[in-house]
Structure 1
Amino acid sequence: MNKLLLTAIALLSLAGCAAVNKPAGTSTAPVANKSCQADGMDDQTLVGKTGQDAGALLNGCAWRVLERDGQRLPATMDYRLDRRNLGIANGKVTWVNRG
């Protein structure tokens, strides 16, 4: 009886991990944020701007600061093409990349 209960629980757990059927033509890739006004400009135009000015330009966009004054900051390891990662030193953006 106990083995049967454990087997049932294991099967239910696996059922929760099963792949979800998606309609044809759908993608799991991130979709660009429609409200991001900075999508029309080159990311490198942020280099040299103050952190505050860069934040204002990226309003509505996915972005984060990964490095401040040479110190790496904690961040998730997920990869998103729509997100800008910034490095800031002495209050100014020193590098920008996507991911």
Structure 2
Amino acid sequence: MKKTIAMMMALVAGATFVGCTDMKTKNATAGGMVMNGEPARTSPACKADAGPDDALVGKTEADAAAQLDGCLWRVLERDGKSLPGTMDYRQERRNLGIRDGKVIWVRRG
């Protein structure tokens, strides 16, 4: 029994460390956050920097995602439901609210 518990603890610890090793992989989380593996500065390839953030309001999510290509962004609310997000403030990151497939608000942070 003690060996089983020790083995389970070792497996959990190993899985925890392995899960934290590749932090630069592109993926979309449950909250819709896009990790691009870039440093915490706005990339010159961010097309959305050319105009105001409010220009995204009213666009479909797909259009907004295309315009935000190269930018740091995430979806924090979808159809009235809050989605998980970190509490760190990043000026270059755009947070989007989506309702019925369209952007209803954009906030920085």
The TM-score normalised by the length of structure 1 is: 0.68
| SS of residue matched to 2:63 | helix
Alignment of 1:1-99 (within 5 A): 30-99=40-109
Q: Specify the code of the residue in structure 2 equivalent to 1:33.
A: S
1:7-49 deviations in whole A, cap 9, x for unaligned? xxxxxxxxxxxxxxxxxxxxxxx43222211111110010000
Separation in 2, partners of 1:61, 1:83: 7
Separation in 2, partners of 1:56, 1:77: 25
Q: How many percent of aligned residue pairs carry the same amino acid? A: 61
Gaps of 5+ in 1: 1-29
Q: Computing the radius of gyration over CA atoms, which structure comes out larger, 1 or 2? A: 1
Aligned to 2:32: none
1:28-84 deviations in whole A, cap 9, x for unaligned? xx4322221111111001000000000000000000000000000001111100000
Separation in 2, partners of 1:32, 1:73: 23
Contact 1:33–1:82, Cα closer than 8 Å, also in 2? no
Q: Specify the code of the residue in structure 1 equivalent to 2:85.
A: A
**4+ residue runs over 3 A deviation:** none
Compute the RMSD of aligned alpha carbons: 0.9
Q: Specify the code of the residue in structure 2 equivalent to 1:65.
A: V
Separation in 2, partners of 1:47, 1:39: 15
